[in-house]
Amino acid sequence: MSRRVREKTCDRCTQISPILYRIQQDAAKTWVFVCPACWESVSQDNPFYVYGGTWKAKKP
């Protein structure tokens, strides 16, 4: 009955990140999770960019 470690990977670079941003990045309007590094490049000059929340490994 051990709890699994909460971890998610970035949908762009596949790296595990303690913080991920839930966003839409293209016309497909699919929700993806990206790490802060990818979020910076995705969110800039992107007419399809939509922010949908932040996921954190550690609960507040």
Q: Give contact residues for Zn ion (rule: CB under 5 A).
A: 10, 12-13, 35, 38
**How near is the Cβ of 54 to Zn ion at its closest, in Å?**
14
Q: Where are the beta strands (DSSP E) in the chain?
A: 8-9, 16-17, 19-24, 31-34, 50-56
**How near is the Cβ of 39 to Zn ion at its closest, in Å?**
8
**How near is the Cβ of 15 to Zn ion at its closest, in Å?**
5
- The residue among 23 and 35 lying less far from Zn ion, judged by its C-beta, is 35
